[in-house]
Amino acid sequence: MSAKYQVEMVANYHCRCGEGPLWDERRGVLFWTDIPAGRLFRYDRASDHHEPIYRGDPVGGFTLQQGGSLLLFGADRISRMGDDGRVEVLIDGIDAEMDRFNDVIADPQGRVYAGTMAKDPQRGGLYRVDTDGSVRCLFRGTGCANGMGFTADRRNFYWTCSTTRRIFRFDYDEDTGDLSNRVELIAVSQADGIPDGLTLDAEGNIWSARWGGFGVYKFSPTGQQLDKIDLPVEKVSSAMFGGADLDELYLTTAGGKDGSDTADGALFRVKLDVPGVVEFRSRVLMS
């Protein structure tokens, strides 16, 4: 491991594909999912308590709604889960060709950008879900749409194509939600694994989890690699800042098996000297 970083295991549910860590700054808790197992977990930072809170259909990604509920993106549908655990389907029949939704992110206006996975590597893509519940396909051409983020000035948007092992930058129009001028920012060699989920810190740097790469990589806004945090497991799937001061980087991993004594599939935490930023909340179908 990188000598200057202390990597700590927070919880180990032996997730087959731990994903989508999301920090709730109001309640001081972190949520994450085990996609193929159809499980969702919650970790309370103050009490150090973690527990499963959902078991059902696979959840590829999710956002926090402005009111505090979770907006779940599954296989061709979007649902809402309240604090009581009840799940209500809001939007169904979006794209019959998708395998499922994957990473998602809310924008400053409460819209959600939602990537999809598809068996046909050209049929996956990126959708935008507007606050009125309307859904628009922005583009196709990937088998696995992945990590996303917005720059602090709200002028650019990052999107990861795991299929081609690249991270792209778009111009982003906050008023309309439109994306334009796609530019390749980071290309990852096959030997170095696959770029997966990502998050941004307060200095605008990109932290990109590396599936098959035993760690998370730090890049400058111009795409220059600045650092790497090594993890003891191969499949690092996503990253999210959390903690009271937003200076703890939480990392989900995959490859776990029930009954195993390995760390594959565990949730990890690393204390950093730079904080992250609070994620935007969705406002889909909120009156």
Q: Is 204 a domain residue?
A: yes
Question: What is the model's pTM?
Answer: 0.97
Confidence of residue 61 (pLDDT cuts 50, 70, 90): very high
SS3 192: helix
The model's pLDDT over 166-186, given as tens digits with 9 standing for 90+, comes to 999 999 999 999 999 999 999
Q: Is 249 a domain residue?
A: yes
Share of the chain above pLDDT 90, in %: 97
Q: Is 284 a domain residue?
A: no
**Rounded (5°) CA angle 132-136-142:** 140
What's the average model confidence in pLDDT over 200-205? 98
* DSSP secondary structure letter of residue 190: G
Helix, strand, coil percentages for the chain (3-state, nearest 5): 0, 55, 45
Where on the phi/psi map is residue 168: left (φ > 0), alpha (ψ -120 to 50), or beta?
Answer: beta
What's the average model confidence in pLDDT over 213-222? 98
Nearest CA among 26, 64, 30 for reference residue 49: 30
CATH number of the CATH domain containing 259 = 2.120.10.30
Q: Is 276 a domain residue?
A: no
The number of folded domains in the chain is 1
Q: Is 2 a domain residue?
A: no
Share of the chain above pLDDT 70, in %: 99
SS3 45: coil
Q: Is 74 a domain residue?
A: yes
Instruction: Give the domain range for residue 249.
Output: 7-271
Q: Is 235 a domain residue?
A: yes
pLDDT at 284 over 70: yes
Print burial letters for 118-157: b (CB count within 10 Å at least 16), e (below 16): beeeebbbbbbbbbeeebeebebebbbbbbbbbeeeeebb
The model's pLDDT over 101-134, given as tens digits with 9 standing for 90+, comes to 999 999 999 999 999 999 898 999 999 999 999 9
Tokens of 43: 């970790």
Q: Is 203 a domain residue?
A: yes
Nearest CA among 198, 199, 265 for reference residue 36: 265
What are the catalytic residues? 196
* DSSP secondary structure letter of residue 17: B
- Average pLDDT in the chain: 97
User: What pLDDT does residue 1 have?
Assistant: 42
